[in-house]
Amino acid sequence: MEPAVGLTKTLIDYLIKEHDKMAFEWPKIHKYEENFENEIRDIVKEQVLSYYGKDVVADLTSEQIEEIRDFSENRLNPYSVLVVGFSELIAEWEDQEYN
């Protein structure tokens, strides 16, 4: 190996290590994401149950679930952070219906 090539590789390795040291990190970010997702699920569930005058998701009718599905798939922005809440609510209802 040519001395210049070895030196270049060493310099590149050093710069990569230094960059990695300086890179932004967010330890345990998954915990924050879980907390936000739980809050979104709770807010969506609260809003839906309040709107339909129900106490639990299992009390929703299939027609109401279809209205909710239509809202979440066709009227809500597909990039909305609320999408996960609607998806989870519908999944919860479907799980209770099939069990």
Average pLDDT over every residue of 16-37: 83
Cβ(93)–Cβ(57) below 8 Å: yes
Q: What is the pLDDT of residue 11?
A: 77
- Rounded to 5°, the CA angle 86-91-95 comes to 155
pLDDT in tens, 40-90: 999 999 999 999 999 999 999 999 999 999 999 999 999 999 999 999 999
First to last CA, the chain: 67
CA-based torsion, 85, 89, 91, 95: positive or negative = positive
Name the band, by pLDDT with cuts 50, 70 and 90, for residue 23.
confident
Residue 60 DSSP symbol: S
